[in-house]
Structure 1
Amino acid sequence: MTKQTESATHGSMLARLRADLSVTQAALAKEAGLDQSRVSRIEKGEITSQAEVEKVLDALASLGSPHARSYKDFANREWAHLPPPTFFNPQRACLEIAEEALGNIEAFLADEERPWPLRRQIERHKDTLIRGATYLQRMNHNIAFIGPIGVGKSTGLSFLFDLLVPPTLASKPIDRPVLETGAGGTTICEVHIKRGPEFGISLLPLPEADLRELVSDFCAARWAVLKSELKETADTPNVSREHDRAIRNMSGLTRRRSMKDGKIEYFDPLTDLVAASASEDEFRTRIFEMMNLTERTQRDLWYDSATRQHPMEWVMKTFREVNNGRLPDVSLPANIDLIIPEFGRAFGEIEISVIDTKGIDDVAVREDLDQRLKDPRTAVVFCTRFNDAPGITTRSLLQHMHQTYSEPVNTGKVSILALPRAEEARAMKDDAGEVAMDDAEGYAFKQMQVENELAAEDLAGVPMVFFNVQSDDAAPVREALFGQLNRMRSTVESRLFDLCAAADEVMKNHEAKALTAAMEEVAERLNSFLETHPALPARERHAYTEALTTIQSVRYAATLWAATRRNGEYSGLNVIHNIGVGAAKDARQRSERWFSSLKDYLAVLKGDEGLQLASKTIEQMERSAIATRAAYLEAVQRAGMEVYREPLSQSPVWGQCAGEWGAGPGFTGRVAGNLEKWFEQRADLKDRLEDITSTLWDQLVVAPMRRLVVENAPEVSPTENIIKFPTRAA
């Protein structure tokens, strides 16, 4: 950190401490024995005098600041191995301990006489310490809301985070949300709400290739319906309601309403446009011309007080314009950022972005949602209707996390938000059939019910909160969600403390014969385990089975129709992604017994009184096993996608699948059948994926455990510095 940066940091911190006390600069200057102008310049970062900064801190302490003295100590601390965290980082004390531990490790490794296995073990501790500390140093996190369309997700998060227009600007409270709400299918893409310098909207436009595919789908669907004069049903091919609405607005082809004989009638201008087009290609070309895409280059929109609108009213109206494709210079968005000054400032020290994901209309295991589920900096809130809780979507995604990459559900990563409506909670009954006396009791009844259901599915431990937007206080619910983030950070903090203790134990006692003997015994026993449990069990099921199962469970044939037109890679149904999920599920199932056996084996070692001195080492072996398992399953998922991506995306089978539309009922079954034949014919891909899966097992699971054996084994002479392991059977 440069002197200039340090001065600015100290200055802003002093200004904050003074503001917390509600003390004026003049009063602080008097207490510090300085001119007010000097205090002003110190707070602006213009004065670098350490003596004067300390005078101001002493004055703040005298005036009652609870943080001034500890900040003085913090400011004088040297950080040689980690970048200094912010003073109000909740895990600052842990990071200070990690900094000290890294200093001790550095000094320990500086002695070149340390035996190689011990050096390597300490180096691994160092690498893991730095990764954990880096996670805790960063203060930015996301809270992602996931749920089916129409569940009230956007309304709920708007009330939770005060994304509301003033009451005077809405006819009724439910109309106050800034985010567009309705009966479902209203938000066109993922929306991020974050802090910024002023009120604004920033968007990332849909890539041109994706936009053209989407419009082509729209045109193909409208052409098929209007040319054949078929009655539209749920199985009629079409784009989503949000995209249909936006494309019509962007091309000026919205349906028009009129009154005839006292009845409302709608006229669809697409009818005339189709009739005037000689072919679907001409129809599509005209739509693109009408959308005027070359003029749609605006990416950032900022509030102007000259509009005389309330800033939140401007955000609400402008968001609706962008979301519905009604601005002539704005393209179709891939995601939208709502920028609100001071957003999240009152919610603690963590810098929070709230994410309103695109509602789930069909397939729950989507690639975009998977990214949120895997992101270690994102807490996920599964939204559900009160009466349906936990809901099919929540169950599907929790099972997906559990079965695909063994993500624990009780670490703060996920929670359930039930959104009751009026009287729903009070309609709950206890075991005796008595209805709840109030909402709180109804919530308690529902929570017990959900907890029992999830426990029966091996998903116990998921926290649950309730929020009726019309009657409940948002503050405790919001605090519960922030507690979710704190729990995620505390989990990492706990691991960091354990790691520091483990490294310290090894370094302090590296010459103790009893410790050495215990570690050598642990190494020998772990080696015995690896000798008897080296191989990955046989394949349980093919990776592509997951994709076929997903296709057969698709709710709307239109979703599958869109996927067949994109060679299987559609945002609503990505067949390649589902193959990767299938590969990871199979790998997890095959490795379950191995990891379970290892866990039990290490538990026996920890319970052995003769190995108590090496308990920290055994604990780190447990953590290493958890990390290697996660890395292995992630790698297998990527491998499954990459093995099949090019052969499948370039296969003519997709043309055959798309051609199945219009051949009568059973479209989904015919597509699944065509793909199953293709998969079965490509035995080379199955074998290739199996080879990669086995190789990854050796590289990412067995090899790291063998390294742990080497690190803790007795030191041997240079010519014998090898521990032999049985070769893997062919």
Structure 2
Amino acid sequence: MGGISHSAVLARLRSEIGVTQAALATEAGLDQSRVSRIEKGEVSSEAEVEKVLDALTALGSPQARAYKEFIGRAWENIAPPSFFNPQRACLEIADEALRDIDTFLADESRPWPLRRQIERHKDTLIKGANYLQKMNHNIAFIGPIGVGKSTGLSFLFDLLVPPTLASKPIDRPVLETGAGGTTICEVHIKRGPEFGISLLPMSETELRDLVADFCASRWAVLKGELKESADNAGVSREHDRAIRNMSGLTRRRSTENGKIVYFDPVSDLVASCASEDEFRTRVLELMKLPERTQRELWYDSVTRQHPMEWVMKTFREVNNGRLADVSLPTSIDLIIPEFGRSFGELEINVIDTKGVDDVAVREDLDLRLKDPRTAVVFCTRFNDAPGVTTRSLLQHMHDTYSEPVNTGKVSILALPRTEEARAMKDDAGEVAMDDAEGYAFKQMQVENELAAEDLAGVPMVFYNVQSDDAAPVRGALFDQLNRMRSTVEARLFDLCAAADEVMKNHEAQALTAAMEEVAERLNSFLDAHPALPARERHAYTEALTTIGGVRYAATLWAATRRNGEYSGFNIIHNIGVGAAKDARQRSDRWFSSLKDYIAVMKGDEGLQLAEKTISQMEQSAIATRTAFLEAVQRAGMEVYRGPLSSASIWSQCAAEWGAGPGFKGRVAGNLKTWFEDRADLKDKLEEITNVLWDQLVIAPMRRLVAENAPEAGLGGNVIPFPTKAA
């Protein structure tokens, strides 16, 4: 038991049965002060800890005996998990399985088909165990701007000021809310020791690019080069507001002859400058960037504010660029003591992503969709559900990397307003009797729509912040995380069973014969289906298609000024997505044929002894496909990033702005010509894609089914191409 800190666990076990330290001390035969010091971590005597655990058992603690066994356990292959880890029993079994596997593999006389399978089981077991051993997870809320996402999660997680500090309930959220376009960047809410705000500032390059956009757009309009329009080139509302606040160039309102008149100091500044460069320089000077070095802000009780009121007001100051020593953030952390305790043992960070205002398939959202530790909640208006953004991203997951939608990874949160649910009608045209029935009608409608698009199985919850209880919705999100973990847990149990089957029956001639037969058949399949089918469409086609669908031409304008890499629309990222989509389409038939081939083997009575192994081979193939598609996406980005970043095409594209209607079409045409002229890049990506196929799909399968197959290259980037600088 040495080296393990028991203080928090012992205090919790005592608290759970409602026993005082004095009563526990009496039962354990110790002084109360001794028990107190043990619970504070000041004493770690093994003998005394055992006495306390025995006393807790005698006093009725259901877990004290289990904890005594837990701390006496020797973990050989997995780092000891928390005693309260929901998957602790599974991890114990996995640790034992890994020990048995090492013993089995130590005997080099084992037949090669058995060794290969067990080696593969070991690698997958370790990865799964490492996933379950950790208790931290993210819940990322994604949705279009103005949908009520920030308001919804504020009420869901009690991120609210006290009712007495708000004139009406809807004004209580700590996160800044409004009619959309209010949050300047991604916001993370996490647990911490004190109330505070921490931020990651924009890089100097990113900030100067943003100011350059602001200045270029204002210069063009105010110098009469362009007329002001709803789709005028420029920065987002949030960034426009923050830049004006940071530079002291906020519009001022006055009343003249009974009419409200707005004065824009930017107009005077432009008039006083001889060039756009001078205008930009003066704005940057007014922002006093060298003085903006503050990264952390902490609540001080001397302010006499309620802590949540302080968080709300300080967040608004940071979010709007109103603090003289704080720069523009690229992400903001709200640190709240005891946050996420309703999720039990899991450590939860909630992420309020920047609202989708145009292109949904953004690089920042893609990272959340791919992160195995992040559950994604698609937010939508009730009447619009499932919503354009939700559909786009679900289809993206399906088409780009074959992500299942029914494993807890994603859910839909519909945010109804008062009376919307009761306006729903059934098939007979009768309106809903109450909100619950309206929710049921809407859920059936959404389920049918998604099933028609091959996206069935996405859980859906509803939450009206003005009338619904938040607890059931939080419970649904907790269930979503549990499904994610349970999916991995079930995989580990299957792996342990498959490995155990091989190891227990390794001396049986019939098992070895069955395994050799499976290997021979799969080897024949690989011989007959070795190559990746021909390319179906170029990777850059995805970027050109997305350009055509961009809602705001200003989004595309900003991308052209950054060599294609803009947070609102990253053309390089879209090329990667296009490469992965093509790779998925090309590999569909291969994996479908393999699935059918494996199904035939499962149904073969002569191979029943190897049934679990055959199932694990199928799971391994699914894993190789995921790795292949992700690697192809990276390859697509890296092949094109260097040449595009230095290409003169971007200045040509940016110059198309202001030449009249059709900006998006002209940019797409220019880029299409550039892409078609660079056949060398198409060929290079095709070469890398085929090498990735051989190394990430074929080689691992060969390793399983061919005695003399070389070690499969499964780690990291198997193709040496430059990566984007951090």
Out of 118-127 and 212-221, give the one that drifted further: 118-127
1:143 paired with 2:139, answer: yes
Q: Which residue of 1 is the match for residue 434 of structure 2?
A: 438
Alignment of 1:328-367 (within 5 A): 328-367=324-363
| 5+ long unaligned stretches in structure 2 | 711-726
Over the aligned positions, Cα root-mean-square deviation in angstroms equals 1.2
Structure 1 residue matching 2:245: 3-state secondary structure: helix
* Structure 2 equivalent of residue 520 of structure 1: 516
For 1:50, the equivalent position in structure 2 comes to 46
Name the SS for the 1:228 alignment partner: coil
Q: Could you tell me which of 230, 238, 246 is aligned with 1:234?
A: 230
Match of 1:654 in 2: 650
Question: Is 2:429 the counterpart of 1:458?
Answer: no
1:669 counterpart = 2:665: yes
Structure 2 equivalent of residue 414 of structure 1: 410
For residues 226 and 694 of structure 2, the distance between their equivalents in structure 1, rounded to whole angstroms, comes to 57
Contact 1:98 1:133 in 2 (8 A): yes
- 2:702 is matched with 706
- Distance in 2, matches of 1:722 and 1:102, equals 24
Indicate if the aligned counterparts of 2:186 and 2:351 stay in contact, CA closer than 8 A: yes
Given that 2:113 and 2:516 are in contact with CA atoms closer than 8 Å, whether structure 1 keeps it comes out as no
User: Is 1:565 matched up with 2:539?
Assistant: no
How far does residue 48 in structure 1 lie from its aligned partner after superposition?
2.3
Q: Partners of 1:615 and 1:297 in 2: how far apart?
A: 62
Shift of 1:64: 2.3
Residue 282 of structure 1 is matched in structure 2 by: 278
Equivalence for 1:256: 252
Comparing 52-61 with 192-201, which one deviates more in the overlay? 52-61
Aligned partner of 1:279: which letter?
S
| 1:604 maps to 2:627 | no
Shift of residue 274, structure 1, vs aligned partner:
0.5
Q: Deviations over 1:305-345 (max 9, x none)?
A: 00000000000000000000000000000100000001012
Give the equivalent residue in structure 1 for 2:17: 21
Tell me how far apart the structure 2 counterparts of residues 530 and 127 of structure 1 sit (CA, whole Å).
22
Name 1:633's counterpart in structure 2. Answer: 629
Q: Distance in 2 between matches of 1:201 and 1:235?
A: 34
The worse-fitting range, judged by mean Cα deviation, of 362-371 and 20-29 is 20-29
Q: 560-569 or 20-29: which moved more?
A: 20-29
CA contact (8 A) 1:17 1:65 kept: yes
CA contact (8 A) 2:138 2:348 kept: yes
Task: Say whether residues 1:375 and 2:371 are aligned partners.
Answer: yes
Partner of 1:686: 682
Once the two structures are TM-superposed, the CA of residue 62 in structure 1 deviates from its matched residue by 2.3
Larger mean CA deviation between 343-352 and 363-372 belongs to: 343-352
- Aligned-partner Cα distance in 1 for 2:668–2:510: 63
- Cα deviations across residues 568-604 of structure 1 (Å, max 9, x unaligned)? 0000010000000000000000110110110111011
What do the CA deviations read for 1:397-441 (whole angstroms, capped 9, x no partner)?
A: 000000000000000000000000010000000000000000000
Residue 159 in 1 paired to residue 158 in 2? no
1:476 to 472, 482, 486: 472
Distance in 2, Cα, partners of 1:386 & 1:569: 33
CA deviation vs aligned residue, 1:372-421 (integer Å, no higher than 9, x gap): 00000000000000000000000000000000000000000000000000
Deviations 1:200-231 (A, max 9, x none): 00000001110000011011011111111754
- SS of structure 2 residue aligned to 1:678: helix
**1:718 paired residue number:** none
In 2: Cα distance, 1:77 partner to 1:25 partner: 27
Cross-structure match for 1:87? 83
Letter in 2 for 1:61: T
Per the alignment, residue 201 of structure 1 pairs with 197
Q: Which residue of 1 aligns with 2:716?
A: none
Can you list the C-alpha shifts for 1:136-191, whole angstroms capped at 9, x where unaligned? 00000000000000000000000000000000000000000000000000000000
Whole-angstrom distance in 2 between the partners of 1:529 and 1:276 = 75
Shift of 1:60: 1.6
Aligned to 2:9, the other structure's residue is in SS state: helix
* Equivalent-residue separation in structure 2 for 1:232 and 1:613 (angstroms): 74
Aligned residue type for 1:498:
D
Q: Hey, what does 2:717 align to over in structure 1?
A: none
Q: In structure 1, the residue corresponding to 2:391 is in which secondary structure? A: helix
Tell me the alpha carbon deviations over residues 661-702 of structure 1, each in whole angstroms, 9 at most, x when there is no partner.
Answer: 110000000000000011111111111111111111111111
- SS of 1:403's equivalent? helix
Q: What is the letter of the counterpart of residue 263 of structure 2?
A: F
Report the residue type matching 1:215 in the other structure.
Answer: V
Alpha-carbon distance in structure 1 between the residues aligned to 2:114 and 2:291:
64
Q: C-alpha deviations, 1:513-545, integer Å up to 9, x for none?
A: 111111111111111211221111111111000
Q: Distance in 2 between matches of 1:510 and 1:249?
A: 73
Separation of aligned partners in 2, 1:480 and 1:219? 46
Matched with 1:716 is none
Q: Does the Cα contact within 8 Å between 2:703 and 2:709 map onto a contact in 1?
A: no
What does residue 303 of structure 1 align with? 299
User: Residue 490 in 1 paired to residue 483 in 2?
Assistant: no
Measure the CA separation in 2 of the matches of 1:49 and 1:249: 59
Does the alignment pair 1:401 with 2:397? yes
Q: Do structure 1's residue 67 and structure 2's residue 63 form an aligned pair?
A: yes
Q: In the alignment, which residue of structure 1 is the partner of 2:26?
A: 30
CA contact (8 A) 1:234 1:556 kept: no
Please give the per-residue CA displacement for 1:77-108, whole angstroms capped at 9, x wherever unaligned: 11111111101100000000001101111211
Alignment equivalent of 1:539, drawn from 514, 529, 535: 535
1:123 Cα offset (Å) = 2.0
Identical-pair percentage? 84
Count of residue pairs brought into register by the alignment: 710
Equivalent-residue separation in structure 1 for 2:533 and 2:115 (angstroms): 34
CA–CA separation in structure 1 for the residues paired with 2:361 and 2:520: 43
TM-score computed with the length of structure 2 as normaliser: 0.97
Q: In the alignment, residue 578 of structure 2 is paired with which amino acid? A: G
Deviating more after overlay: 658-667 vs 12-21: 12-21
Aligned partner of 2:681: which letter? L
Q: What is the deviation of 1:33?
A: 1.4
Q: Structure 1-normalised TM-score?
A: 0.96
The answer as to 2:72 corresponding to 1:76 is yes
